[in-house]
């Protein structure tokens, strides 16, 4: 396949996860994949500010967070008039295979899922598929 490798350094990523250890692990994986601009947020509320501030192309976001969940954050983002790019790619980290959560996420316009805790291979495959051709 003559597919070119993605130039990840061109993309800005936001990682939204309320557990510091998990968040650091995801940031490390993304850095290993080749992303250079990785911003962090610890819940759906601060994530919204970061979207306005850094305009990420890709958002890797946990679903189960308090006070603002991943689903609430995604709903805010997609409806936002302040965010530069309300259609930014959103990947949910989840231990849910429950169809109800998945259905809600699809309705809100999620772009993909990765099972927690994410492995290097799983995360890379998902972002490759989403950023390919961008």
Q: What is the percent of the chain with per-residue pLDDT over 70, rounded to a whole number?
A: 93
Residue 50: inside a domain, yes or no? yes
Q: Looking at the domain assignment, is residue 112 inside a domain?
A: yes
Is a pLDDT exceeding 50 seen at residue 1?
no
Total number of domains constituting the chain: 1
**What whole-number distance in Å separates Cα of residue 111 and Cα of residue 25?**
21
**Would you say residue 15 lies in a domain?**
yes
Average pLDDT over residues 104-122: 95
Average pLDDT over the chain, rounded to an integer: 92
Please report the pLDDT score of residue 99 as a whole number: 82
- Residue 115 belongs to a domain with what CATH number? 3.40.50.2300
Whether residue 89 is contained in a domain is answered as yes
Assess if residue 69 is contained within a domain.
yes
Residue 2: the pLDDT is 42
**DSSP code of residue 15:** E
Domain assignment of residue 2, yes or no? no
Q: Does residue 3 lie within any of the structural domains?
A: no
What average pLDDT does this structure show over 87-112? 91
Q: Tell me: pLDDT of 103 over 60.
A: yes
77 inside domain? yes
Q: What's the pLDDT score for residue 68?
A: 92
pLDDT digit string (tens) for 50-98?
Answer: 999 999 999 999 999 988 999 999 999 999 999 899 999 999 998 867 7
Predicted local distance difference test score (pLDDT) of residue 6: 76
- Structural domain for 74, as ranges: 8-131
Candidates 81, 73, 7; CA nearest to 42 is: 73
Q: Following DSSP, what letter does each residue of 34-86 receive, concatenated?
A: T--EEEEESSHHHHHHHHHHH--SEEEEESS-SSS-HHHHHHHHHH-SSSS-T
């Amino acid at each position: 396949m003559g597919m070119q490798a993605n130039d990840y350094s061109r993309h800005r990523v936001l990682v939204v996860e309320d557990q510091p250890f998990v968040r650091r692990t995801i940031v490390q994986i993304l850095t290993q994949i080749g992303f250079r601009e990785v911003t962090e947020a610890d819940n759906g509320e601060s994530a919204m500010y970061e979207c306005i501030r850094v305009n990420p192309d890709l958002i890797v976001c946990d679903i189960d967070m308090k006070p603002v969940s991943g689903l609430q954050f995604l709903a805010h983002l997609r409806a936002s008039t302040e965010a530069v790019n309300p259609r930014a790619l959103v990947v949910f980290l989840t231990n849910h295979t429950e169809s109800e959560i998945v259905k809600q996420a699809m309705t809100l316009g999620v772009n993909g899922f990765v099972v927690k805790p994410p492995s290097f291979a799983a995360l890379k495959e998902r972002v490759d598929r989403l950023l390919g051709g961008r």
